[in-house]
Structure 1
Amino acid sequence: MKDISPDEMPLIADRGPLPTSIAPLTETSHTQAETGVIREIAAEVGTLSVSLADVSGAVEDVDKLMHSQVETLRGLRGLSEELSRGNDAIRDAARTALGATVDARQTVASGQTRIDAALSDVTTLANQVALFGERIEALTQALGKVARAAGDIDAIARTTNLLALNASIEAARAGAAGRGFMVVAQEVKQLSGRTQDATRLIEANLADLTREITAIADTGRAAADSAGKVRREAGHVSRVMAEIDTAVLAIADRQDEITRCTESVASQVTATEDGCHGIGAGVTQAAGRLSAAKASLSGLVDASERLVASTARLGVETVDTPYIEAVKEAAAQISALFDTEVAEGRISLRDMFDQDYRPIPGSDPQQMLAAFTAMTDRVLPAVQEPLLQLSTDVVFCAAVDVNGYLPTHNRKFSLPQRPGDPSWNAANCRNRRIFADRVGLGAGRSTRPFYLQSYRRDMGGGTFALMKDVSAPIYVNSRHWGGLRLAYRV
């Protein structure tokens, strides 16, 4: 977590001189030359400490980036594996589809054969129906001739009947001589009547037969028309089947092409996977080395900070001396105030060391309350606020417990949170939060007389500010509670 936001640390070009009223550490008996050398060493070590902190921060940034790249490469490898599986699925699907297409072509070919056979049968049937129509027409003509012949017979029968009548009349006139002829005339008349009856029966039958033949002829013509339509539709179906066969063949060609392309893609994906694996291994190895370098730099930063503290303890005043003396004195005051609060019963020793931090609902970033927060809000400002005037380089002064919990910040960093504006809150509402970073935990857990740390803070936009943090331990009834932090620019 970041202790200082960009809004907290505006660069101040005009830095006033440090107050001279604060007494330096007690000097041991050094010659003037020795004192000058020690001051030079302290200055160099201080510069080294800050530079190492800057480099350590940069390495940490690169380390984060490297680990991010490792995760990205792992993700890329996973994506390439997914791509490979997807490509394999496409290839299998294309092969299956190609097999189905081959089966479809065989089915189409079989259907084409059947359609051609059916078309041939329909053509034969249509021709037979047409021939049947021709024969019906000839039969109709023959029936017409029979009808005409029957009419002729009927006409002859009527004439014969008339002649027989006339003959009977003449036979009656002839008397006895004409009796024989009368018999003949009567027989002819009867024969004529039967002939007329027969011709009428023939005409009736011919009429019925003609109607039936006409109906059959009409049906035959309709069947011939239907057969023609069937023949035309069958021809159309035959052409469509041929087009389907052509389309299926084109689909088979495309599927074969897809199969070849998926084979090529599979090779490329495999190469990509191998490349990602190789790059990932290299980046992972580099990240491991960088982490080791970061650990080494962290050790160097700690060593340089110890050197700075050692030079300060030599009794020679350095640029850090006023801040060290001020934070030690203020931490002692806070220890005394806390002891008084416990002694006078305003807070129990148990509550003083409460670590059951309770989240404040709706806070963003998350703020916490502890059993001692109300007490620190009442006691700490009187000690912390004056130290902001120690120098224009001072950024903040705040006490933290051993877990980095900062209950009471400076007033300018303890504004009420704005709902829905976490960025503003992070910069202006820094009280009641836990800062469990290296510097925060180091300040809260150190039991040295003072603990000087160098670090950098992100100012936003890729800009960083180099900082120093000097802290001194706070005790309650001789039990270590935390530390008072004083942060200032370098």
Structure 2
Amino acid sequence: MEAPVPAAQVVQETPAPLAGIDAMLRQLEDDTLLTMRIIGYSAEQVQSKVDESVTLVDHIRDASSELSSLSATAHDLTMGLVRTTEKLDQASQSIERDISGTDDFIREAHALASDVTSRMERLGSAVERIASVVAVIGTVARQTNLLALNASIEAARAGPAGRGFAVVATEVKLLANEVQDATGDISSQIEMLQNFASESHEAVDRIATLIRRIDPVLGSVRDAVSAQIAGTRDVADRATQSLSFVGSVSSSAKAMQEMTESARAASRSAGSATGNMERSLHWLTQRSMAALRDTVVGNRRRYERVPILLEAVLSLDEISAPVQVIDLSKGGCLLAADITLFAVGMSGRLEAEKIGAINVTIVALSDDGVHVRFESPRPETIKRIEAAIEDVHHVNQPIITIIQGVAKEISDTFEDGVNSGEVALTDLITFDYQRIAGTDPIQYETKATPFYEEVLPPIYERWKDRCPSSLFMLACDRNSYIPIHHPQYSLPQRPGDHQWNDLNSRNKRIMERSKMLVAVRNRNPYAATLFQRHMSDGRIVPTTLMAAPIFVRGQLWGNVYLAKEL
């Protein structure tokens, strides 16, 4: 167990005259962070409401889409109804015409039946008169037959003298018999004709009766068809009105759908604006912190920090977990670890290679990892920490030489451009960044962009082979603006593809990472900073970001920074 060492031996006290300023800056930083947190909460609430609005608008959009679909279906059905009623109206009119023709036929049949009845009546009268004549003829024939019989008797009495008369009487008798037979036959035929006429008269009467019975039925049918025609026309009128109404509903549904789409887009825009506001506030906070830490009194980091990679074990309470030291100073370190295992305020012991054992307290948890403070380290432990830091400087010296050479060449090139009038100093050191329309993430240009595009790529090309292990090497101005990136990261943006653009269109961007902002405002001969690089596959790779300043006529333009894996 290490013996504790007085803090005064390892921690430099803040000079008394600056203690008040230090406290003020500490309070300012705390207030800025608190304000950011409160505004962030408000932004989250606004975003939540915007999300609810978007959800509601989505529901309305779905409902309006369904209404539009139903309206279209109703329109089709109503159109079918209109066509059906038109066909029904045509059929009803055809029936009405047929019934009108039937009325004419019935009237003709009724007139014909009346005429037949009249003719049958006249025929009956004629037959009766014929029967009377035939009866007279029959009577005459019978009387003639009696006369012939009497003549025959008288001729017989007369003897031979009456023989000729007897022959005549016989012939007359035969003729009278034939007449009588004929009149009998005629009488039979007349009787049959009378019976037929009587039956025909009765049949015609029955037909006339049926025709008279059909007429009211046809009248009812006529009235029903007329009512049906009127009803069909009323249905057709209502169907036409329904069609017009459905058309209006469909138009309204389409208009509502368009409005919901506009509202949805507006809600999305509001959500994006809220997110942008939150990001802008976060960016402002980062820049405020970077600005404060860029001053002597504002930088509360009492010790130099260097990126490093050391295997270690962190033991807190009942937890013991393998970790990696990825950022080291004499006052504490940053550990790459599963932050869900730990909590702020937990204390324990860290055992790391090159350093040994040391008591620590967790002071913060972040996306970068677990931030710990060393608790009263022993002098020999401090010496081991200093030796580890010095080793980092020694290992980095070749890279330091390279980036300082690049920074000097860029400084000289910029100076030459200003001296020759090719570019103005106020265009190099500027806040006038013009947004490039339609870019997402946003890209910017300045008046000096054409100058950068001309002079920086050849410098990158000359130096890239000097440090093949580097991930990238770029010049970035003091506002974290990258005018020129490497070709593979300077591809034209794809409209609507934010993720692809973020990974492949990194030129002309203002990077919003606070550590990068601190790095590009470095004024020391060189600086090394830990940078967590987010990869396209979701991995976070601890990276060393090394920077060397670029000055133009004594003013800080920015830094050249080079990234390499730990």
Q: TM-score, normalised by structure 2?
A: 0.43
Q: Which has the higher helix share?
A: 1
Q: Which has the higher strand share?
A: 2
Q: Which has the higher contact order (CA 8 A, sep 6+)?
A: 1
Q: TM-score, normalised by structure 1?
A: 0.49
